[in-house]
Amino acid sequence: MGVKLGILGLGTVGTGTVQLLQDMVGRNPLLQEIEIYRVGVRSLDKIRNVELPAQVLTTDLAAIVNDPAVDIVVELMGGLEPARSLILKALNHGKHVVTANKAVIARFGAEIFTTANQAGVYVMLEAAVGGGIPVIQPLKQSLSVNRINTVTGIINGTTNYILTRMQTEGSNFSDVLADAQRLGYAEADPTSDVEGLDAADKIAILASLGFGGRINLEDVYCEGIRQVSKTDITYAEKLGFVIKLLAIAKKYTDSSDLSVRVHPTLVPKPHPLASINGVYNAILVEGEPIGQVMFFGPGAGAGATASAVTSDILNLVAVLKTSTANPNPLFTCAHQDYCQIAPITELVTRFYARFLTKDQPGVIGKLGTCFGNYGVSLESVVQTGFQGGLAEIVVVTHDVREGDFRKALAEIKNLEDIDSIPSLLRVL
């Protein structure tokens, strides 16, 4: 008897997954055990890029997760509800679940994994982070004997695609976003990509796996890329950096607290993450004793994501074929305690800041004095441009406590010579 799939969603990822499963030649022979039994969609009238028997497609998704014949539910619909409820129902009916839905896992992971553990089934989520890049299973299995210190990633394909094209072609933000949507990279609501929320969901998942505890999503500091302008990209370039949306989870050396954050960051050009362009993602994991290991590959798109979804399905087929009484602890997620996350003001980092000031002598000196009052030392100060009669000054600091830097900025904002501070970015 074949293993019966109930797939929820036939959009970009669902279609890619069905295409892969319908084209098995040259792939793992275990795939032949799989039957696409039901596929749930919102509309039966839409033209699809795959052919499926009429009785397979349905708009009754609840019937799929309740159907005793279904062995594995593959949730590829996205969004929070009804995805969360359908996943929980599937688990409660004793079905394994594969999902690409980082939004649901980052918010309801505790509830979902507890339900799965009680039901004695697995929830697999390789596609939820880094698209096609194998990173979830390596963190759960191959790297799990390491003490992880830092996970640093470019983990949103849409924003990396946008920033790359803004940098290399000087393209306009909204034109490139429209291309990312057309290519199937963006979320149904691309706000979550652009505002950094998708990357925050993903780093919460990676941090949970890497540091062995639950992560409260509200504790993850998050800034998106809307504030990144062509001007900043040009200045960064001149200073030897590229701007990337980084997601970082790092253990403080002197406490058990974590720093978990997403923000646009100036990355030095020689750094391995600086050369990750377009829809590609990369995740740099640092641990002991392994040192550094980097995972690189396509972070979004139909085929790449289908590869991750189908590898999870294949793992579950293998589980179903070799049924064991006890669950495999390397497949489950059983964290009970929450990781302690330090506030962003405690972060120690370098900063890039761009000021528009009146073109008067002594402005740079006044800036330097304010920074000095809070122990902020400057690595470089550049004054090259003018904008609308205002002088443009760019500074890069040495490492500073974010709280001290913000106090200095508050004082600087009150200086008569300062018009505005259009950009404030962290430097890796």
Ligand X SMILES: N[C@@H](CC=O)C(=O)O
Ligand Y SMILES: NC(=O)C1=CN([C@@H]2O[C@H](COP(=O)(O)OP(=O)(O)OC[C@H]3O[C@@H](n4cnc5c(N)ncnc54)[C@H](OP(=O)(O)O)[C@@H]3O)[C@@H](O)[C@H]2O)C=CC1
Residues serving a catalytic function are 202
Which among ligand X, ligand Y, Na ion, none contacts residue 156 (Cβ within 5 to 8 A by kind)? ligand X
Question: Which of the 8 DSSP states describes residue 377?
Answer: P
Beta bridge mates, 341? 258
Question: By C-beta, is 82 or 403 nearer to ligand Y?
Answer: 82
Contact in structure between 180 and 162 (CB atoms under 8 Å): yes
Number of neighbours of residue 337 by Cβ within 10 angstroms: 8
Tell me how many residues contact ligand X (CB under 6 A).
Answer: 11
- Could you tell me which of 30, 113, 55 has the C-alpha nearest to residue 310? 30
Task: Out of 108, 185, 221, 331, name the contact with ligand Y by CB under 6 A.
Answer: 185
Query: CB under 6 A: which stretch of 155-163, 256-264, 320-328, 411-419 binds ligand X?
Result: 155-163
| 187 part of the interface to ligand Y, by CB under 6 A | yes
Which among ligand X, ligand Y, Na ion, none contacts residue 126 (Cβ within 5 to 8 A by kind)? Na ion
As a whole number of angstroms, the longest Cα–Cα distance in the chain is: 82
| 82 part of the interface to ligand Y, by CB under 6 A | yes
Task: Out of 43, 322, 326, 336, name the contact with ligand Y by CB under 6 A.
Answer: 43
Which among ligand Y, ligand X, Na ion, none contacts residue 12 (Cβ within 5 to 8 A by kind)? ligand Y
For 32-82, the DSSP string reads GGEEEEEEE-S-SSS--SS---TTTEES-HHHHHH-TT--EEEE-S-SSTT
Measuring CA to CA, how many Å separate 326 from each of 120, 316, 319? 8, 14, 11
Question: By C-beta, is 13 or 245 nearer to ligand Y?
Answer: 13
Question: By C-beta, is 16 or 157 nearer to ligand X?
Answer: 157
Question: By C-beta, is 123 or 356 nearer to ligand X?
Answer: 123
Query: CB under 5 A: which stretch of 170-178, 187-195, 229-237, 306-314 binds Na ion?
Result: 306-314
Question: By C-beta, is 17 or 357 nearer to Na ion?
Answer: 17
Which among ligand X, ligand Y, Na ion, none contacts residue 77 (Cβ within 5 to 8 A by kind)? ligand Y
For 298-315, the DSSP string reads E-SSHHHHHHHHHHHHHH
Query: CB under 5 A: which stretch of 55-63, 131-139, 171-179, 207-215 binds Na ion?
Result: 131-139
The separation between the first and the last C-alpha atoms of the chain, rounded to the nearest angstrom, is: 53
Q: At closest approach, how far in Å is the CB of 8 from ligand Y?
A: 7
In the three-class reduction of DSSP (H, G, I as helix; E, B as strand; rest coil), residue 22 is classed as: coil
Q: At closest approach, how far in Å is the CB of 179 from ligand X?
A: 12
102-141 residues near ligand Y, rule: CB under 6 A: 127, 131
Task: Out of 3, 65, 104, 300, name the contact with ligand X by CB under 6 A.
Answer: 300
Q: At closest approach, how far in Å is the CB of 397 from ligand X?
A: 30
Distance (Å, whole) CA 123 – CA 170: 42
| 188 part of the interface to ligand Y, by CB under 6 A | yes
Distance (Å, whole) CA 197 – CA 199: 5
**Which structure tokens are listed for 54?**
């009429």
Q: At closest approach, how far in Å is the CB of 161 from ligand X?
A: 7
Which among ligand X, ligand Y, Na ion, none contacts residue 158 (Cβ within 5 to 8 A by kind)? ligand X
| 13 part of the interface to ligand Y, by CB under 6 A | yes
Number of neighbours of residue 222 by Cβ within 10 angstroms: 20
The HSE-up count of residue 187 (CA atoms within 13 Å, CB side) is 22
Distance (Å, whole) CA 405 – CA 377: 10
Distance (Å, whole) CA 215 – CA 259: 11
CB contact burial 387-420 (16+ within 10 A = b; e otherwise): eeebbbbbbbbeebbbebbebbbebbeebebbbe
Contact in structure between 176 and 161 (CB atoms under 8 Å): yes
| 301 part of the interface to Na ion, by CB under 5 A | no
Which among ligand X, ligand Y, Na ion, none contacts residue 42 (Cβ within 5 to 8 A by kind)? ligand Y
Measuring CA to CA, how many Å separate 185 from each of 5, 47, 154, 303, 399? 25, 20, 14, 11, 35
Q: At closest approach, how far in Å is the CB of 6 from Na ion?
A: 22
Task: Out of 6, 14, 16, 130, name the contact with Na ion by CB under 5 A.
Answer: 130
171-190 residues near ligand X, rule: CB under 6 A: 185-187
Q: At closest approach, how far in Å is the CB of 222 from ligand X?
A: 15
| 190 part of the interface to ligand Y, by CB under 6 A | no
Could you list the residues that contact Na ion (CB under 5 A)?
Answer: 126, 130, 133, 135, 308
Could you list the residues that contact ligand Y (CB under 6 A)?
Answer: 9-14, 40-43, 46, 61, 76-79, 82, 100-101, 127, 131, 184-185, 187-188, 300-301, 305
Could you list the residues that contact ligand X (CB under 6 A)?
Answer: 131, 156-158, 185-187, 193, 198, 299-300
